[in-house]
Amino acid sequence: MKETAKYSQKKVLVLGLAKSGVTAASLLHKLGAFVTVNDMKPLSENPEAQGLLEQGIKVICGSHPIELLDEGFELIVKNPGIPYRNPLIKGALEKGIPVITEVELAYQISEAPFVGITGTNGKTTTTTLIFEMLKAGDKSPLIAGNIGTVASGVAKEAKAEDTIVIELSSFQLMGIEEFRPEIALVTNLYDAHLDYHSSKQEYAEAKAAITKNQQKTDFFVYNADQEDVRRMAAGSQAELVPFSATTKQEQGAYIEAGAVYFRGEKVMNTADIALPGKHNLENILAAISAVKLKDVSNEAIQSVLSSFHGVEHRLQYVATIKNRKFYNDSKATNILAASKALASFSEPTILLAGGLDRGNEFDELKASMKNVKAVVTFGQTAEKIERVAKEIGITNIKRVDNVVTAVPVAFELSNEGDCILLSPACASWDQYKTFEQRGDMFMEAVHKLK
């Protein structure tokens, strides 16, 4: 860990706990800051806050009192999930108090360089592939961010010879100041999180922050098939490394004659790739671009891609029961992700979908539902998804309470050779704390069905 006196004797407010807040508060305390933690959950129900209290850190729980801004804080470290319209955050910015996320703190103390991955879809798969390829190539990677361990916790232990591979959300990137990854990567850009961001432009600007501090010696890996991402690349100071699943890219990764190439060099045949789904080819091209810049051998890349079948909750194979295959795609928290999942299967499919209502309709899902023979819905958006299914002629539609009750109903609607796919097209927060919890409950219900 880099030694820094930057926070010594400084009054810092950590707003919102969860894993990142707890780690940030402990680290700042160790760096000599006067830390106050503020969390909505009452202290009696908040073991994380109780643990910080035992360390001698000041803790205020149960609300976000605006009066905290009168205590002379010089910095706020914000949980990424807390929106900027929060009165405390708005008030802090009006007073000129810097507001950062824990990722910025991680960068400031890290001895190791970062490979940062963002985008609307494919972040987790791409991040995992990069980590596994670097590991296979003996490049000493560490994984952090939305996938893996809290970034500042990883950075605290990282050595100069390591590489921190970090998945980054737009929420995290809105709170960076100096963060500068050696390699920044954008998988794609679609409408998302517009309940948090005021517009698609704000969302795009948040994503573009991943490259805002990069210099000519850094690399910006980007999806050349998307105009919005190409526009983002045009504003980067880093060396541009494009990837494309449709056109040849002399300076990046592409597919030609049934093989994957990087800068004219054949890496491997696409037939030898284990990961299903056309959309995953983009993730693979993105990951190959990043690791080739770190001098990973083709043999190491091949060993990963010939055996890697996906990450948890992303088109994850669960089981085959009476010749029906079950897949868990709980991480499909938007329409595009669900569309891509559906496009991965040619078998007759029973779709399990529904969740948090963010105000959007689901008509964009229609084009990818050609193989869907039945739909099982749940959550706040059940009625909206049922409408779309009826409009394209699907008659087998059942509404259930949750993903657990959806499993036996889907099985009853299926025949041998069918695929039963949980791909909700919605966030999980109407019924579940996380998409992981939703996916775990689905998988548990499938295994009970055996």
| 3 state SS of 415 | coil
State yes or no: 395 annotated in a binding site.
no
What is the CB neighbour count within 10 angstroms for residue 35? 26
CA gap 348, 140 in Å, rounded: 43
State yes or no: 125 annotated in a binding site.
yes
CA gap 133, 303 in Å, rounded: 8
What is the enclosing helix (H) or strand (E) of 166? strand 163-167
DSSP β-ladder status, 34-39 and 11-15: parallel
Burial 213-230 (b: 16+ CB within 10 A, else e): bbeeebbbbbbbbbebbe
State yes or no: 122 annotated in a binding site.
yes
CA gap 228, 95 in Å, rounded: 34
State yes or no: 120 annotated in a binding site.
yes
State yes or no: 124 annotated in a binding site.
yes
DSSP β-ladder status, 183-186 and 163-167: unpaired
Q: Between 123-136 and 279-292, two packed helices, what is the crossing angle to 10 degrees?
A: 40
State yes or no: 270 annotated in a binding site.
no
CA gap 117, 287 in Å, rounded: 10
Give the residue ranges of the annotated binding site. 119-125
Give the residue ranges of the annotated binding site for ATP. 119-125
